[in-house]
Amino acid sequence: MPVLMPAQDDVVLKRRQKIVRALRNIVPGEGVIDTEREMRPYQSDGLTAYRQIPMVVVLPRTTDQVARVLRYCHQNGIKVVARGAGTSLSGGALPLVDGVLLGMAKFNRIVEVDFANRVAVVEPGVTNLAITQAVEQQGFYYAPDPSSQIACTIGGNVAENSGGVHCLKYGMTTNNVLGCEIVLITGEIIRLGGKHLDAAGYDLLGIVIGSEGLLGVVTEVTVRILKKPEVARALLIGFPSSEEAGACVGGVIGAGIIPAGIEMMDKLAIHSAEAFVHAGYPLDVEAILIVELDGPRSEVDHLVERVAEIAKQSGATSLRASTSEQERLLFWAGRKAAFPAVGRISPDYFCMDGTIPRAMLPRVLLRMRELSQTYGLRVANVFHAGDGNLHPLILYDANQPGELERAEAFGADILKLCVEVGGVLTGEHGVGVEKRDLMPVMFSQADLDQQQRLKCAFDDKGLLNPGKVFPTLSRCAELGRMHVSGGQLPFADIPRF
């Protein structure tokens, strides 16, 4: 799979043995891995189309070790890629041939649960679900729930600003993290935020979250925990067209209702899921919606009725409202199994991740059907309909010559379409290497330059996760140059007050 990564540094590679010894001095024992066989599990993340064995894997246990490793790498010009559980779908943790792969799995402790302040302080290698498990006995949970939550770590969630199906009401990672300890590439340790709501000074926490490992290495995270709602109920609604399903979503939100989640699936996704988990989905419809409402019982019961009315007015042909927790989970079972279900009907698939203004859905689906014809590849759609986040699954067979390339081109066309209608390249999976070269579709060079200047403030040598997010990495010295155009400025006609 050709993906252009930064040129390998032969000087660094020649010194590999020396570098490994130096790293062993910092992280003793089995914390440094340098055999190809043992490094193989680290060669890719969830985007398995891209693989690379790193120069060396380091598994630190303490913040001090992270700081010393980074300081050493900074002093010696060695690239560093941080990794959590490796569930990234965009290649965010793809290693570099001349880089250190810094695995944070050993940072797996829950440091503190503080119910009085409704926060948990955890190490970055703790899984997303383990946070909820640590607090659920008291009726609390951690809200962002990416579909990989059993495996993905909170450190990775911070790096990617992960979402999930409940973002519209409860926000993404960035809205649920109050503080971080991060180590800069220089080895300096800084704390951003804490247990209080507004961090002081510049909102560097807001920048670090979603920075895809390009700004620093997170060594501790303080998250907000919420009390579980009294009740959650879901409606399973079938429509004769995705237009009518889309109109229903607009109607619900227009009526002032913010559901905990609204998911849409198209016909291919419905049939695949139903064949796999038998959730009782209607098979004679073009689209289904799963609308979940949560909160105090009397409010939820009332809203379920309102949503049902709106659905009927929007042309729903089937409708079931869950009356038990078991039934609610059954409605979700098909949606949650949608990806593996599609995996059963196709040897391979790509999961795309664009976001669009919701009203553009009919136009985007129509165009996607046309593209599907053009490329001769099927596409199944699951869609976080409330916030406009599309997950088209492009079905292909990597063993058929040319299909992978066609699938990639199809995917790129879908993402360009998302930007064209006013949306964005990625709603929750991150740019990584996957969408890196599409960044200019959405951003001008000036936009990308300013983002990279921010990187320069954190990582002046560009050693942290290079080759991700930005299609070309400019040198900080070049980015810092000022081009002042003489200062002959047209103030004569600017009104004064």
Q: Which of residues 331-390 bind another protein (CB under 8 A)?
A: 355-359, 384, 387-389
Member of 150, 200, 283, 366 binding another protein (CB under 8 A): 200
- Chain positions 412 to 451 lying near another protein, rule: CB under 8 A, are 422-431, 435, 439, 442-444, 446-451
Min dist CB 99 to another protein, Å, is 21
Are the beta carbons of 375 and 344 closer than 8 angstroms? no
Residue list 129-168, contact with another protein (CB under 8 A): 138-140, 160-161, 163, 167-168
For another protein, give the closer residue by CB, 7 or 116.
Answer: 116
Least separation, in Å, of the C-beta of 251 and another protein? Answer: 8
Which string of x and - marks every residue 88-117 that binds another protein (by CB under 8 A)? --------------------------xxxx
When binding is defined by CB under 8 A, the residue of 4, 457, 475, 478 that contacts another protein is 457
Toward another protein, which CB reaches closer, 72 or 276? 72
Query: CB of 271: closest distance to another protein in angstroms?
Result: 27
CA distance 184 to 370: 47
Taking CB under 8 A as the criterion, the residue among 29, 401, 402, 495 binding another protein is 495
Instruction: Give the nearest distance from C-beta 411 to another protein in angstroms.
Output: 15
Strands 110-114, 119-122: parallel, antiparallel or unpaired by DSSP? Answer: antiparallel
What is the nearest approach in angstroms of another protein to the Cβ of residue 173? 9
Give the residue, chosen from 63, 108, 206, 333, that forms a contact with another protein under the rule CB under 8 A. 206
Chosen residue from 71, 106, 118, 416 binding another protein by CB under 8 A: 118
CB closer to another protein out of 54 and 124: 124
**What is the footprint of another protein within residues 207-266 (CB under 8 A)?**
207, 209-211, 227-230, 250, 253-254, 256-258
Of 143, 110, 141, give the one whose Cα is nearest residue 125: 110
Burial class (CB in 10 A: 0-12, 13-18, 19+), 418: buried
The only residue of 9, 203, 420, 437 in contact with another protein, by rule CB under 8 A = 203
- Only one of the segments 201-209, 314-322, 342-350, 362-370 lies at the binding site for another protein (rule: CB under 8 A); that segment is 201-209
Q: Which is nearer to another protein, 36 or 198 (CB)?
A: 198
Residue number, 56 or 351, with CB nearest to another protein: 351
Check: CB of residue 13 under 8 Å from CB of residue 55: yes
Nearest to 105 by CA among 96, 114, 93: 93
Alpha-carbon dihedral 365, 371, 375, 377, rounded to 10 degrees: 10
Q: Candidates 4-12, 233-241, 367-375, 452-460 — which segment interacts with another protein by CB under 8 A?
A: 452-460
Q: Which run of H or of E encompasses 292?
A: strand 287-295
The whole-angstrom separation of Cα 449 and Cα 439 is 12
Q: Which is nearer to another protein, 202 or 399 (CB)?
A: 202
Among 10, 30, 36, 198, binds another protein (CB under 8 A): 198
Give me the half-sphere count of Cα atoms (radius 13 Å) on the Cβ side of residue 80.
35
The span from the CA of 243 to the CA of 238, in Å, is 12
Nearer Cβ to another protein (35/202): 202
Query: Which structure tokens are listed for 438?
Result: 């599409």
CA 475 to chain centre: 27
Max CA-CA distance within the chain? 72
Provide CB contacts within 8 A for 231, sequence distance 6+.
294, 295, 296, 297, 300
Give residues 9-48 in contact with another protein (rule: CB under 8 A).
none
Distance CA 145, CA 70 (A): 31
Give 440's contacts (C-beta < 8 A, 6+ positions apart): 448, 471
Q: How many CA atoms lie within 13 A of 242 on its CB side?
A: 24
Q: 252 or 265, CB closer to another protein? A: 252
- Other CB atoms within 10 A of residue 4 CB: 11
Closest CA to 92 of 379, 470, 400, 410: 470
